Chain A
Amino acid sequence: MNNPKDNINSTQMIVFILSSQIGVGILTLPAKLAEKAGHDGWLSVIISTSICSIIITIMILLLKRYRDKSIIQINNILYGKYLGTFFNLYFIFYFIITTAVIFRSLVDIIQITALNFTPALLLSFVIIIPSTYLCIYGLQPICRYSMLIYLVITVTLLFFLLVANNFKITFLMPLGESGLFKIINSVKSSVISFIGFELVSVIYPYISDKEKILKKSLIANFITGLFYTSIVLATTALFGENILKRLVYPLFSLSRTYNAPIFERLDLFYVALWFPAMIGSTKMYLYASNLAIRDLFKLQPKKIYIFLNVILIILLSRIPTNFFDVNKYSNFLSIMSISIMLFIVFSYFFSFINKRGVNKH
């Protein structure tokens, strides 16, 4: 029997998508884009927003063809028991790896910015407790908690206004200097920062007003795109591409340039505000992996496998030994996420060939 706390509406789904997308990736995105596309990185973000909107549309159309079914169930119908199970295992593997990589990045950020000497393993256990707790309770409490993302977005945009007098428009010029090839090449990096929307394919059966899902998903992706574009524009206009390449977390460096009356160093509060936002995307992937495991293996009771999943994620997150190692795993993750997106697109078109289980209305 389904937990009623797992049911959400399409407006809560916007929060779900925002919280899944906006997390750790955006903190390093401006620097990555500066490396690949110079000061034209923001153009790459706009292209990525469009690409992700197309993929979201195809994904929702695929889900609509199978009423009330998640991608895990669709795979079994579309590809049969064995191939479907194989693809489902790949999905679960992807969710777990993504959770582990995001979680590792999160722990690293907390260690770099706040808790330098706290042992990482202990920090990992402490940080994941609230996420585990929420995952046990269901999707609805997760989405309610994730409303915090709106505060993060608002405060970030407010910060841009506060430091705007230091922006140099010349740092964004000349437009398109890096060339079309480099901009297109950088799209791979920016698309990865948009991952999170694919989780809708797992929670689809739990969204109540399904007729609004496409519209609301596109709205969520548009908000993320707008937010990312403003971040890349602001950090480039403030720092210029040359120093931007050297910054690890440009958004945090940006917050350090504002001197607030009385508080002086508002950056410390700002960095702390990002922690729950970053935990948000970990939580979403953790929940999705739990849900996918439950759908595939029909496991009960859920507390046991959630707990085992959490232990696995913590252990996996400790495999990379340093910053560059984490980047290596992130690159691996980016290949996986692109493959997942392509798989969803392929599945949509394949569903026209194999029409088994397709909703005729």
Chain B
Amino acid sequence: MKRRISLILTLIITATTFTGCWDNKYFEDIGFILTSAVEYKDNNLVITFVLPSIDSQNNSSDEVEILTINDSKMSRDSREKSRLVSQKLTESGKIQQFLMSEEFAEKGIGNFFQLFERDLSNSTQAYLVVVEGSPNGLINYLYTLPSKPRVSFYINQIINNNIMECYIPETRIFNVGICKFSEGIDFILPTVKQDKNGLIVTGSALFSNNSMVGKIDTIETSLLLGMMNKLKTSQYISSQIKDDTYPNQPNHGIAIKIKKCKSKIDIDFKDDIPIVTINLKIDSILDENSSNIPMDKNYQKTIQDHISKEIKNECIKILNYTKDVNSDPIGIGNLIRANYNEYWKKVTWKETYKKISFNVNVNVNINNFGLFK
């Protein structure tokens, strides 16, 4: 009995005096930042936070609080300044996406996201997105559109959907952190811009040495992801093979749904310069064909060859562009470092990358063409 009483007393004392005295955080007091945006204005950092405001004056469940913080020195500084104006204790633990302006990306992201890697209370899983134009302007514009869901959910859903379709890369804060420290590989980020419909996904931004150096569109991003072995499913629309059955018809082209894409990269050397051969094997389904020619074995082969050739040309164009802007998103340098380390050690990769020659072999297979021949 005496033992039981002492045990109960210990439990009561422990529970009342020790539990969460110093580190307690009341959920009601926290303002979870769901979207963050950064841009330069007159050479000063302007950071925007979007957080839900569940107890706003008009009692609407759709309300969000948009905080614009001027003259921030760094990421943490902006949060501290936001706490001066927000009724809630702003926290980045649930942040979904971090938008940045093109100017910010071009100047170089440096260690701006280091805070997220350092502090466990921040999430490293937020998407990084480059906005063509002002991210602050975009957020405020989306806020005014009554037909759209809450700003953060709207942006997040669009990004998620387009990642699934492989029109943009899935790049989170931790991916950038890893690439930043890795040799012979550059990261790419999705690009979006303001549109009359709200927000439009425009493709990807290419980076080199942590600075944005170029842009590609959504179709090019799909193909680039294919070469990076990261293409899951996507759609590809090629030009039409010459067919005069309906010369005035409105649709011209062949649409295929890519259901599987495998990339194999071979590296060879000629005159001490790498020759990179990328072999793409694409399994697809024919979705739409504006031609009236009935499908048979020969015509299927003609379509396959036609699309293969077109994808090959597109891929060569993309790869040459990456050479022009000196960005290595496929990680050719990383492959050479791993497989030809002696060579890697004697060259400066960024200089060598401009000189390498690319070959692309594309093999498109149309597995079926639906219910219509």
Question: Residues on A close to B: CB < 8 A?
Answer: 112-119, 122, 126, 129, 166, 168-171, 173-174, 177, 238-240, 242-243, 246, 252-253, 256-257, 259, 264-265, 267-268, 271
Contacts and interface: CB of A to CB of B under 8 A. Distances in A.
Given A118-B22, A168-B334, A256-B125, 5 more contacts: A117-B22, A119-B22, A168-B331, A171-B338, A174-B341
A257 B174 contact: yes
Interface string B279-306: 0000000000000000000000000000
Contact of A170 (B22, B117, B174, B334): B334
Nearest to A243: B181
A265 B93 contact: yes
A169 B337 CA distance: 12
A174 B339 contact: yes
Nearest to A249: B120
28 contacts: A113-B120, A114-B23, A114-B120, A116-B23, A117-B22, A117-B23, A126-B14, A170-B335, A170-B339, A171-B182, A171-B334, A171-B338, A173-B338, A174-B339, A174-B341, A238-B178, A240-B178, A240-B182, A242-B182, A243-B181, A246-B181, A253-B117, A256-B120, A256-B124, A256-B174, A257-B174, A265-B94, A267-B120
Interface of B: 14, 18, 21-23, 93-94, 117, 120, 123-125, 172, 174-175, 177-178, 180-183, 331, 334-335, 337-339, 341
Given A240-B178, A243-B178, A265-B125, A118 B117 contact: no
Contacts of B180: 243
Contact of B182 (A243, A253, A257, A265): A243
A130 to B, nearest CB: 11
Contacts of A264: 94, 123, 125
Contact of A242 (B22, B124, B183, B341): B183
Contacts of A173: 337-339
Contacts of A268: 120
A168 B125 CA distance: 19
Contacts of B125: 256-257, 259, 264-265
A268 B21 CA distance: 20
Contacts of B335: 170
A137 to B, nearest CB: 13
Instruction: List the 6 closest pairs (A to B, CB-CB), nearest first.
Output: A173-B338, A243-B181, A170-B338, A242-B181, A117-B22, A118-B22
A170 B331 contact: yes
B339 A112 contact: no
A122 B22 CA distance: 11
Contacts of A171: 182, 334, 338
A105 B134 CA distance: 45
Contact of A118 (B21, B123, B334): B21
A246 to B, nearest CB: 7
Contact of A115 (B23, B174, B183, B341): B23
Contacts of B338: 169-171, 173-174
Contacts of B175: 166
Give the most central of A117, A118, A171, A256: most B CB within 10 Å: A256
B181 A240 contact: yes
A129 B178 CA distance: 40
A243 B21 CA distance: 36
Contacts of B124: 253, 256-257
B175 to A, nearest CB: 8
Contacts of B94: 264-265
A273 to B, nearest CB: 14
A264 B124 CA distance: 11
Contacts of A253: 117, 124, 174
Contacts of A265: 93-94, 123, 125
Nearest to B118: A248
A68 to B, nearest CB: 33
Nearest to A247: B117
Nearest to B23: A115
B211 to A, nearest CB: 19
Nearest to B125: A259
A122 B18 contact: yes
A52 to B, nearest CB: 31
A112 B118 CA distance: 10
Contacts of B22: 115, 117-119
Contacts of B93: 265
A177 B339 CA distance: 11
A126 B10 CA distance: 12
A209 B335 CA distance: 53
A257 B18 CA distance: 32
A319 B260 CA distance: 59
Contacts of B123: 256, 264-265
A256 B21 CA distance: 27
A126 B183 CA distance: 45
Nearest to B114: A246
